[in-house]
Amino acid sequence: MHLNLKIQQKIQLFIIGTSIIIYAIALGYISINARNKAYKDAIQNTDSYAQGVAKDVTAQLNANMEIVKTLSNAFLVYKDFPGDEWQDLFLKMYKNVLVQNPEIYNLWDSWELSMIDSSWQKTHGRIALECFRDNGVYKTNKDYRSIESETDIYDGIIKKRRIQSIWEPYFDQVVDNKSERYLMTTLNSPILINGEYIGIVAIDITLDHFQNIVEKISPYEGSYAFMVSNGGLFAGHPDKAMLGKNIKDLFPEECKSNDIIENILNGRQFSYITLNDIGHDLYVSYAPIFVGDTKTPWSIAISVPMKVILKEANRNFTISLFIGIVGILAVAFIISLVSKNITNALRKGIDFAKNVADGDLTATFDINQKDEVGDLANALNQMVLRLREIVESVNLSAENISAASFEMSSSSQQMSQGANQQASSAEEVSSSMQEMVSSIHQNNDNAQQTEKIVIKTSEGIKEGSASSEISMDAMKKIAEKITIVNDIAFQTNILALNAAVEAARAGEHGKGFAVVAAEVRKLAERSKVAADEIEQLSKDGVAISEKAGKQLQSIVPEMEKTVKLIQEISASSLEQNSGAEQVNNAVQQLNQVTQQNAASSEELATSSEELASQAEQLKENISFFKTGKRLKLNKNKSNTSNSKLYENRETSIKSEIKNSQTKSSGVDLQMYDDKKIDEDYESF
């Protein structure tokens, strides 16, 4: 959510709000800690107080138990006296004890007749001595009991309990002639000789003394104490109607949830929080009371309202809250003064900023403060002074830019026209170079085809020469073979002559053989004639073949020279083709660069015009500021000049495009091999 608040309101809202939040968190933290500490201190004090009271009660009961223990030990001294004598001595001691200890209501003993009178043959029967007070009068009593039979309580409980013990609270009148009835307890100590039970010494203590102690215990407002026996009976309580009643019967749920009876039986110190009759929280602390060597500890408890425990913490919280509110009001007042001082300076700064926003650079921020606000005012005044100088400088620069842009626009227009003409010439050169590259490429192809034909022809001649050599060798071999045939015919003719001679010698019997010999000789002669003819023909063929081979061998070198020349022509054509393509590529690149230069020149001209327009616009904007100096504006003049330049440049571009379209697509390249032309150029 966006709040439309002034700075003073924001300062007050956020700072005071933040202070309240921080204070609330700190106060809450401190209060919680103070509450917890007060609670722990009160709990600890209550527990300590309960322990102190328990120690006091324990000391008093232990003192009484020491009396009982001392009297029981005295029997070991007086047991050898005659019966009446030691009994009188004990009654006197009992009376002295009662006089010196007003809290003791009755002091009594019980002796087994079978253990002190050797003539007594029964297992039961007792003699009891008693000294008690009745309305301030000390009375004694001595009687025999359980002569016929022993009571269950004495025989089953008291007699078998052979250790010191404290009895559960009870209301009792020891003898019938007592006129008062009290809530009491009994402390007893058995008399044992060599482990045999002799008797018991006990004192009856009225619990009124402890009731008075309990009623005086109130460490906090609304707190109270009570004492509970080992069996859970109230032995002391501000509400006397609860005396002698069992806590388990009065508060069953509380005893069950907090294990009160079990904790008392085991002599534990424990505490818990419960609710009273009107629903307020109570803290209850129990402390154990151990009497002598007894195994049945009692407990004393203190109950304190929780609101009393937390009263100190609540008071501290109230004080802290009051101090915090006063502190916040003081902080709010101081923040209001400081924020007002800041906002007054800000208002002057706002007025100053509005004047500057309206273009008045002659305004000043007048404030006389030696703090950060004063430093800000000085810095703003310096800023406006510097800004005024910058505006004046920008205005002068804008005029210079405007003039320079006009000149740059004119120069770029001329450069654009020249670039367009150069681009047109480059296109014509490129077209002619493309035609020349095409012719060189055709010549190269023809040279390559001729080279292939000559190579093929040369290879055919070489093969014919080789074939004639083979034929000549074959004819020579045939001539050799025919010589062999001629020799065979000669030998055959000789053999036929020899056969005819032999046939003539044979006479009549050799006539048939002579005929055969004559025919063989004729065949031999004919063979010789044929062989001579073939030999002559072979010699003629060999001569012709040798001549043809010599002619073919003389043609082969000439063909090889022709192939080399054609290869050189083809290589030259390739080099010319490559050079022409490079020249063509260079011309095309030159054409592209020229066209790019033309386009860049046009863009430069346009940018120059736009720059001039922006310079005029800048001067117009700068004129918004009031610096005390008059700014010069030539808006109409610049617009007129810009329009005129744009019309001239557009007409020039259209003319160049029309001229380039009407010209031919190529030029006639006059490539003269005149070395004098190169002399006009400088060599590097």
Closest CA to 132 of 100, 108, 166: 108
Q: Are 123 and 100 in contact (CB under 8 A)?
A: no
Beta strands in 113-246 (DSSP E): 126-134, 137-145, 165-166, 170-172, 182-193, 196-206, 224-228, 234-236
d(CA 420, CA 414): 10
Q: Using one digit for the tens of pLDDT, what is the confidence trace for 540-564?
A: 777 777 777 777 777 777 777 777 8
- Mean pLDDT of the residues in the chain: 77
Tokens 């020279």 found at: 561
Q: Using the CB atoms, write b or e for 536-552: b if 16+ within 10 Å.
A: eebeebbeebeebbeeb
d(CA 660, CA 654): 10
Residue 514 has pLDDT above 70, yes or no: yes
Residues composing the chain? 684
Closest CA to 291 of 44, 67, 49, 71: 67
Domain residues for 190? 68-308
Same domain, 367 and 486: no
Same domain, 355 and 295: no
d(CA 580, CA 570): 15
Same domain, 184 and 300: yes
Q: Which of 284, 308, 332 is the last residue of a domain?
A: 308
Tokens 């269950």 found at: 152
Output the pLDDT for position 653: 44
Structure tokens at 204: 């009856």
Same domain, 303 and 362: no
Output the pLDDT for position 648: 53
Q: Using one digit for the tens of pLDDT, what is the confidence trace for 104-152?
A: 888 988 888 877 777 787 877 888 888 988 777 888 888 887 777 666 6
Same domain, 364 and 478: no
Output the pLDDT for position 635: 44
Mean pLDDT of 456-469: 74
Q: At 142, give phi and psi (nearest 5°).
A: -140, 125
Residue 199 has pLDDT above 80, yes or no: yes
Of 181-195, 256-270, 605-619, the range with the lowest mean pLDDT is 605-619
Residue 650 has pLDDT above 60, yes or no: no
In a domain, 39, yes or no: no
Mean pLDDT of 65-69: 89
Mean pLDDT of 353-376: 76
Torsion, CA 674, CA 675, CA 677, CA 678, rounded to 10:
140
* HEC-encoded secondary structure of 425-455: HHHHHHHHHHHHHHHHHHHHHHHHHHHHHHH
Output the pLDDT for position 297: 94
Mean pLDDT of 627-656: 50
Q: Using the CB atoms, write b or e for 162-185: b if 16+ within 10 Å.
A: eebbbbbbeebebeeebeeebbbb
Output the pLDDT for position 124: 77
Handedness of CA 35, 36, 39, 40 (dihedral sign): negative
pTM flag (> 0.95) = no
Q: What is the CA radius of gyration of the chain?
A: 76
Burial class (CB in 10 A: 0-12, 13-18, 19+), 396: middle
The CATH number of the domain holding residue 644 is 1.10.287
Counting the structural domains of the chain, the total is 3
Most confident of 274-278, 609-613, 667-671: 274-278
Same domain, 152 and 227: yes
Same domain, 217 and 356: no
Output the pLDDT for position 234: 93
Output the pLDDT for position 379: 83
Cα atoms found within 13 Å of the Cα of residue 380, Cβ hemisphere only: 24
Mean pLDDT of 250-264: 92
The CATH number of the domain holding residue 186 is 3.30.450.20
CB atoms within 10 A of CB 377: 20
288 membership: H or E segment, kind and range: strand 281-289
* Side chain identity, residue 178: K
In a domain, 645, yes or no: yes
In a domain, 467, yes or no: yes
Same domain, 193 and 97: yes
Mean pLDDT of 584-612: 78
Structure tokens at 444: 């190269």
Q: Are 61 and 289 in contact (CB under 8 A)?
A: yes
Query: Cα 142 to chain center, whole Å?
Result: 95
In a domain, 35, yes or no: no
Closest CA to 8 of 344, 365, 367, 350: 344
Output the pLDDT for position 321: 74
d(CA 185, CA 91): 21
d(CA 360, CA 290): 99
**Whole-number Cα distances in Å, 664 to 288, 425, 438:** 132, 11, 18
Q: Are 614 and 635 in contact (CB under 8 A)?
A: no
Residue 584 has pLDDT above 90, yes or no: no
Same domain, 366 and 506: no
* Side chain identity, residue 81: F
Handedness of CA 62, 211, 224, 280 (dihedral sign): positive
Same domain, 243 and 106: yes
Closest CA to 434 of 568, 284, 581, 571: 581
Mean pLDDT of 457-480: 74
Same domain, 363 and 268: no
In a domain, 18, yes or no: no
Structure tokens at 53: 């009271």
d(CA 425, CA 669): 12
In a domain, 297, yes or no: yes
Output the pLDDT for position 271: 92
Closest CA to 70 of 292, 298, 370: 292
Please, which pLDDT band fits residue 661 given cuts at 50, 70 and 90? Answer: very low
Same domain, 251 and 155: yes
Residue 254 has pLDDT above 80, yes or no: yes
**Any residues with CB less than 8 A from the CB of 384 and at least 6 apart, and which?**
356, 361, 363, 364, 365
Output the pLDDT for position 655: 53
Output the pLDDT for position 256: 92
In a domain, 631, yes or no: yes
**Any residues with CB less than 8 A from the CB of 314 and at least 6 apart, and which?**
35
Structure tokens at 416: 């654009």
Cα atoms found within 13 Å of the Cα of residue 332, Cβ hemisphere only: 12
Mean pLDDT of 634-643: 46
Output the pLDDT for position 175: 45
Q: Using one digit for the tens of pLDDT, what is the confidence trace for 3-53?
A: 566 666 667 677 777 877 887 788 778 777 777 777 788 788 889 989 999
Q: Are 202 and 109 in contact (CB under 8 A)?
A: yes
Output the pLDDT for position 135: 78
Q: Are 232 and 262 in contact (CB under 8 A)?
A: no
Residue 452 has pLDDT above 90, yes or no: no
In a domain, 674, yes or no: no
Residue 666 has pLDDT above 50, yes or no: no
Handedness of CA 118, 119, 123, 125 (dihedral sign): negative
Q: Using one digit for the tens of pLDDT, what is the confidence trace for 141-190?
A: 888 877 776 666 666 567 777 788 898 998 875 444 555 567 889 898 88
